[in-house]
Structure 1
Amino acid sequence: MSDTLAPAASPARASTPRRRGPHIRYRPLSLLVLAATVAGAILVLAPFLLVLLNAFKSQADYSTHGPLAFPERLDLAAVQGYLEIVDFPRALTNSVVISVLVAVLGVLVSVLAAYAIGIGRIRMRTGVLAVLLLATMIPQEALIYPLFSIAQATGTLNTIWSVTVIFVVLQGAFGTYLLSGVLGTFPKELLEAARMDGAGRWRILWAVVVPVIRPTLSVLMVFFFIWTWNEFYIPVVLLNDQSAQTIPIALATLRGQHSVDMTVVNAGSFLSLLPTILFFLIFQRTLSNGVTAGAVK
């Protein structure tokens, strides 16, 4: 019996096609999208690469070959010059402290206010939201004089607390407006189930509402940190003392009255970009999860 089955099985094995790996077909539209993506990535990375290229270039090399040429050798004179002119550790500490405080306190204020507006349904809810939206639309140039007077009257001028309180209020207004719409569509079944279990308003907020909207709060905290880190106009007016200056203000001090050393400016820009790049690498997953959380149940 084994002799009769052997010839029948061999043609089946011989006819089985061999797999030599996945065969991918690229359509013209896919190639076009890929080319546009690569071109966009190059345009986005070009300024960062230009700063990196000139941060380790000598002044003579920059003057001779221009900003687009590769450096003849790596020169740390620009980095050393920037660190001699600017108290970078102090400016970095001020920026981190202000940005973290604003991010945390701004989200806390936003959650508390949006909980009252979106779920508590306070009176004149539409009018309150209109005022908050108006507060986010007012340009900073229109606010700087009263803010300067308040900081001077309260004794917080040239301290990080003046900027921290101002940005907590400004970012909190935007966060409240955003979260009010989110909490306005919060599932009523969860709230009713929590009330039936005997949970009060504070328990519902911290045990039910906050865990559900945690991805949104994480994204909002990241944006508050980035926006506060990049702020320049209000800090440059309220923080004249060098001990309270942030990184953007420290970069602005490199501009001289008649000349500017561009290698030192690029070195300072490079050192200033490093914390933000590390921040994005650390919280990249938080941003991705927060953006896609609303699309997945």
Structure 2
Amino acid sequence: MTVGQSENEHQQLVDEEHPAPAPPRRNGRRRRTGLEWLALAVTLVVGVIMGAPLLLVLLNAVKSPEDFSAHGPLGLPTGIYLDGIKTFWEAVDFPRKVWNSVLISGLVAVFGVLISVLNAYALGIGRVRGRMWVLVAFLLATIVPQEALLYPLYIMFKNIGLYDTIWSVVIVFVVIHGAFGTYLLASVFGAFPRELLEAAALDGANRRQILWRVVVPVCRPTLAVLAVFFFIWTWNEFLIPLSFLVSADNQTVQVGIATLQGERIMNVTTISASALLGVLPTLIFFLVFQRTLTRGLTAGAIK
């Protein structure tokens, strides 16, 4: 043993016996480092930048047209003007549009996750032959432009009588989001602990029982995150609902906003009100399920 090696071993023993002091604490909490303060400042700046458009829309939604003309879009309103919100609410039958969006997005979230789970269980745990090529096909299905799907889907829905019904939009988005969910969950199920599967099989559980009583409960946080994303993605979709939902009673919030704007009956205040009411339901939905997203992401990061 060389002299250098013996000195290193001695230093390691000293470090183990006398560990470095922990960062000083203040009121029972660890004091933040300079790098942490920098990261917090950057996060606050990014949050302000991302929240500024929503705040601007809110200010202009409660501003009268005269007030907007006098002070511009950045000026503070001199009073609360709600006629723009009332005009948009009545012109598009907003409660009906919200119900259609909630119904379509909810159905897509439920059926999309269900199909993703069944497909991913066969690919990730069942290990079907040609698994990699099947996953590549699902991945390619998620990157096909929606414009390329409009005409064949239009012909198909016309022939089977689903055109101008909410089921046409539900079917399209269940397939599109289900392909992405299958690709994502297949990798998650592929890393599922084999010990749990073998233990369930030894207890007499069949494949269906293993899926619903073992795999799904363990992966529930991931499935909840996937359902939330499916809901928000479907809510924000515009092109396919615009193409397949021509009746006012079947249209979603996004289509109703665009249709009313195309009629040129709204001023800037009413347009801001429509943008505010269009984004408000998704914002509430996100805040309600924020803990679900946090738990799901944390469960995926800590395993």
TM, length-normalised to structure 1:
0.89
- The letter of the residue matching 1:137 is I
* Cα pair distance change 1:35/1:153, threshold 3 Å: same
* Cα pair distance change 1:190/1:158, threshold 3 Å: same
Q: Which runs of 5+ in 2 are unaligned?
A: 1-25
For 1:188 and 1:68, the matched residues in 2 are separated by 59
Q: Which residue of 2 aligns with 1:214?
A: 220
Give, in angstroms, the shift of residue 185 of structure 1: 1.2
- Which of 187, 193, 203 is the matching residue for 1:187? 193
- Which of 269, 275, 290 is the matching residue for 1:263? 269
Cα shift readout 1:148-192 (whole Å, capped 9, x = no counterpart): 111111111111010001111111111011111111111111111
For 1:30 and 1:84, the matched residues in 2 are separated by 49
Q: Which residue of 2 aligns with 1:40?
A: 46
Q: Which residue of 1 aligns with 2:14?
A: none
* Cα pair distance change 1:27/1:205, threshold 3 Å: closer
Q: Which residue of 2 aligns with 1:133?
A: 139
Q: Give me the CA root mean square deviation.
A: 1.8
* Cα pair distance change 1:27/1:195, threshold 3 Å: closer
- Which of 241, 249, 252 is the matching residue for 1:246? 252
- Which of 72, 78, 97 is the matching residue for 2:84? 78
- Which of 268, 272, 275 is the matching residue for 2:278? 272
| Residue 160 (str. 1) matches residue 170 (str. 2) | no
- The letter of the residue matching 2:74 is L
- Which of 56, 73, 79 is the matching residue for 1:50? 56
Q: Which residue of 2 aligns with 1:98?
A: 104
For 2:264 and 2:272, the matched residues in 1 are separated by 18
For 1:108 and 1:164, the matched residues in 2 are separated by 14
* Cα pair distance change 1:209/1:29, threshold 3 Å: closer
The DSSP-based 3-state class of the residue aligned with 2:261 is: coil
Please say if residues 111 and 179 of structure 1, whose CA atoms lie closer than 8 Å, have aligned partners that are also in contact.
yes
Give, in angstroms, the shift of residue 84 of structure 1: 2.5
* Cα pair distance change 1:65/1:138, threshold 3 Å: same
Equivalent residues, number:
278
The DSSP-based 3-state class of the residue aligned with 1:242 is: coil
For 1:55 and 1:125, the matched residues in 2 are separated by 52
Q: Which runs of 5+ in 1 are unaligned?
A: 1-19
Cα shift readout 1:232-279 (whole Å, capped 9, x = no counterpart): 011101111101000000110232466751111111111122211211
| Residue 149 (str. 1) matches residue 145 (str. 2) | no
For 1:156 and 1:256, the matched residues in 2 are separated by 26
- The letter of the residue matching 1:63 is S
Q: Which residue of 2 aligns with 1:62?
A: 68
* Cα pair distance change 1:197/1:23, threshold 3 Å: closer
Q: Which residue of 1 aligns with 2:230?
A: 224
* Cα pair distance change 1:88/1:199, threshold 3 Å: same
TM, length-normalised to structure 2:
0.87
- The letter of the residue matching 1:134 is L
For 2:39 and 2:123, the matched residues in 1 are separated by 43
* Cα pair distance change 1:188/1:261, threshold 3 Å: same
User: Matched residues, percent identical?
Assistant: 56
The DSSP-based 3-state class of the residue aligned with 2:260 is: coil
